[in-house]
Amino acid sequence: MMILGNPLSQTVMKEVTVLDLRAGTSLVLRMAGTNVLLRREFALGVDSLVRQSLQHAPPLPIELEHAIELTEDAVMPLAAEYAGSAGLILQGLGASLIARSLDVIGSVRSELTLDEVESLFNRLVAVSLGRPASQEALPTDARFFAALLMLREFMHHLHFPHVTLQI
């Protein structure tokens, strides 16, 4: 007679990365279930990116370029430790700003693919380049630009195919 062990103990917990975009800094966690495997804070948040780069509404193209450079500098050192987990969860101020903006344009969704994030970002770039914001039905608020830009860079450089917004 064979006795089976506890099925829960045999379950492999999927690792996820949690990105908490805050005002002044951001936090990245690698988790398995409720266990925090890795925790890093980086010195770039939604409001700090706005203060450093995004002075106009909508931001100018040169401001977006500078914001991308700052974000890449903050995100790239995390790539070796965080790329490759099973999923990405966005929390905090960034998740709230993006979810609220999606709600305004009638696209309430809790999960976005990288292609959808890229598409939203490209629409923001078009507004930055002079396309009337009314044609895109997106906010021109610099905080929304910052949150979406940071999410895009994080997903792109750490190879996350989708993100779940958790507000």
Question: Does residue 128 fall inside a structural domain?
Answer: yes
Alpha-carbon distance of 96 to 102, in angstroms, equals 10
Question: Does residue 143 fall inside a structural domain?
Answer: yes
Question: Does residue 6 fall inside a structural domain?
Answer: no
**3-class secondary-structure state, position 20:** strand
| Stronger pLDDT, 18 or 83, i.e. the higher one | 18
What's the structural domain count of the chain?
Answer: 1
Question: Does residue 161 fall inside a structural domain?
Answer: yes
Question: Does residue 148 fall inside a structural domain?
Answer: yes
Residues 6+ apart with CB under 8 A from 160: 17, 87, 88, 114, 154
pLDDT of 9 > 80? The answer is no
Alpha helix stretches (DSSP H) within the chain: 7-10, 46-53, 61-75, 79-82, 92-104, 114-128, 133-136, 142-158
Question: Does residue 8 fall inside a structural domain?
Answer: no
Question: Does residue 19 fall inside a structural domain?
Answer: no
What integer pLDDT is reported at residue 48 of this predicted model? 98
Reply yes or no: is the peptide bond before residue 77 cis, omega within 30 of 0. no
What integer pLDDT is reported at residue 140 of this predicted model? 82
Tokens describing residue 30: 């690698």
**pLDDT confidence tier of residue 135, bands split at 50, 70 and 90:** confident
* Domain housing 88: 24-35+44-165
Tokens describing residue 12: 């492999």
Q: Cα 112 from chain centroid? A: 10
pTM tops 0.75: yes
What integer pLDDT is reported at residue 63 of this predicted model? 97
For 35-53, the pLDDT digits (tens) are: 999 999 999 999 999 999 9
Question: Does residue 156 fall inside a structural domain?
Answer: yes
Average pLDDT over the chain, rounded to an integer: 88
Alpha-carbon distance of 64 to 128, in angstroms, equals 8
Q: What is the CATH number of the domain that holds 144?
A: 3.30.420.150
| Stronger pLDDT, 135 or 105, i.e. the higher one | 135
